[in-house]
Structure 1
Amino acid sequence: MANRIYGYIRVSTREQNIERQMLSLLEAGIHKKDIYVDKQSGKNFQRPAYTKMMRRVREGDLIVVKSIDRLGRNYQEIMEQWRVITKEKGADICIQDMPLLDTTKTKDLLGTFISDIVLQLLSFVAENERDNIRQRQAEGIAAAKARGVQFGKPMIPMPENFPELYEQWDADLISIKEFGNLCNMGRSTLYKRIAEYKAFLYQRDE
């Protein structure tokens, strides 16, 4: 049987848009039926689509992922799954946003050594960024409370995860409509809250 190419997509919530990741995988020539999508957090690998894909992966197959943080954000788990894919399964993996993380092109000893170093570095960066987002959430909310600024009308309280949703919107991972729906706010109210929050971040960094 010929080797197969699988694509894997992960978004953090059911409301997040998968279009950019899907388009990138389709442009790489992967059939849509071979693309697996999970809509949940990257904290661990308890994901139904990922599990289903891994049951089908055979030696010599290739798994393509848009970026390392789509594979996961937990440093140890990313490293473990990389080992399972390349060592136990004997398959290849390609991270599209990082050409050095393409095991189809790093079969020699030096190439493997370089890709291992890059993988460890990027896995650490992905996990560290996740921690930084949490810290920015706490600092943003604390700054708002200290200044006595209210986010929205009393009947529409600002959700606790507003900073994280803002980060996702700012990175084009969710649309303004999805952002508003998740905050239970109209577009005009949401834009006002975004402006207030950006002002807090600017003042904090001064």
Structure 2
Amino acid sequence: MSIYGYCRISTKKQNIERQVRNILAVHPDAIIVREVYTGTKFQGRKELDKILKIAKPTDTIVFDSVSRMSRSAEEGYIEYEKLFCRNITLEFLKEPHINTEVYKKALSGTVAMTGTNADYILEGVNKYLMALAKEQIRLAFEQSEKEVQDLYQRTKEGIETARLNGKQIGQKPGTKLVTKKSIEAKKKIQQYSQEFGGTLSDVDCMKLIGLARNTYYKYKRELKEEMQG
């Protein structure tokens, strides 16, 4: 039986190590899988997909919270049901009430039939209990999706408020973003491009350095400006 701890962050400002510490505090032997991904589609989480493919019955996947599994309520609920049917245990540290073990107990805690006419009533009670358990799962995913959307809206409103108050948002027009990648790329352009005394055409230079067309010509233009300056 393997225990996988899945940790994901969706922005560079988030710290993934907090999730790691929370999971290891409960499961010291968990296999930690980290993923940095920005987006909302469940299918886009490659590392989680890998876990889902190799996970066997009786294996456990631990999440710091339900939002780490999926931001989409519908996709998260469907995946939860699939994994439950595969007998894979799901554990959510911040929402333990929807752990699959709790869900399993709720589904198995039905009222026994009596073999009498009362069974018609008991059958209805059992269906209600199962529906109630499933609704708890769905509500947890819906609440998680709502929290993400609310956070996005608050951030958007905060940026707009700052802009209206005259604060600079993002990079100032006309400024260049200097990174280690851009510095190295420009050195190679200067070394290999025919325009700077090299032997390669723009197309071959792009392929060699591994730059997209727009980025390549942007760096090339900046190089010329730097040399002229």
TM over 0.5: yes
C-alpha contact (below 8 Å) 1:94/1:103 kept by paired residues: yes
Tell me which amino acid in the other structure corresponds to 2:23. Answer: L
**Higher RCO (Cα < 8 Å, 6 or more apart):** 1
> Structure 1 pair 115/62, CA: closer, same or farther in 2 (3 Å)?
farther
Runs of 4+ with >6 A deviation: none
Q: Choose from 72, 75, 90 the match for 1:74.
A: 72
Matched AA of 1:101: I
Note the C-alpha offset of 1:121. 1.4
Give 1:31's aligned amino acid.
Answer: D
Higher helix share: 2
1:19 to 14, 17, 20: 17
1:120 Cα deviation after fit: 1.4
Q: State the Cα distance separating 1:143 from its structure 2 match.
A: 2.9
Contact kept in structure 2, 1:6 and 1:62, CA below 8 Å: yes
Q: How does 1:44-193 map to 2 (within 5 A)?
A: 44-45=41-42, 46-87=44-85, 89-108=86-105, 109=107, 110=109, 113-146=131-164, 148-151=165-168, 155=172
Match of 2:38 in 1: 41
Determine the C-alpha separation between the residues in 1 that align with 2:38 and 2:171. 30
**CA contact 2:62–2:92 (8 Å) conserved in 1:** yes
Return the offset for 1:60: 1.6
**Identity fraction in percent:** 26
Relative distance call for 1:70 and 1:153 in structure 2 (3 A) is closer
User: Aligned pairs, how many?
Assistant: 152
Which sections of structure 1, spanning at least 5 residues, go unmatched? Answer: 158-206
Superposed displacement of residue 4, structure 1: 2.0
Measured at CA, do residues 112 and 103 of structure 1 come closer, stay the same or move farther in structure 2, by a change above 3 Å? farther
Is the Cα–Cα contact under 8 Å of residues 90 and 100 in structure 2 kept in the other structure?
yes
Distance 1:112 1:25 in 2: 29
Cα gap change, 1:107 to 1:134, in 2 (>3 Å): closer
Of structures 1 and 2, the larger Rg is shown by 2
> Do 2:163 and 2:169's aligned partners in 1 also have CA atoms closer than 8 Å?
no
Q: For the residues of structure 1 that align with 2:16 and 2:95, how far apart are their CA atoms?
A: 19
Where structure 2 has 5 or more consecutive residues not aligned to the other structure, the ranges are 110-128, 175-229
Q: Would you say 1:6 and 2:8 are equivalent positions? A: no
Query: For residues 65 and 160 of structure 2, what CA distance do their matches in structure 1 show?
Result: 32
Residue identity matched to 2:139:
L
Aligned partners of 2:50 and 2:171: how far apart in 1?
A: 45
- Taking only aligned residues, the RMSD between alpha carbons, in angstroms, comes to 2.7
**Aligned residue number for residue 31 of structure 1:** 29
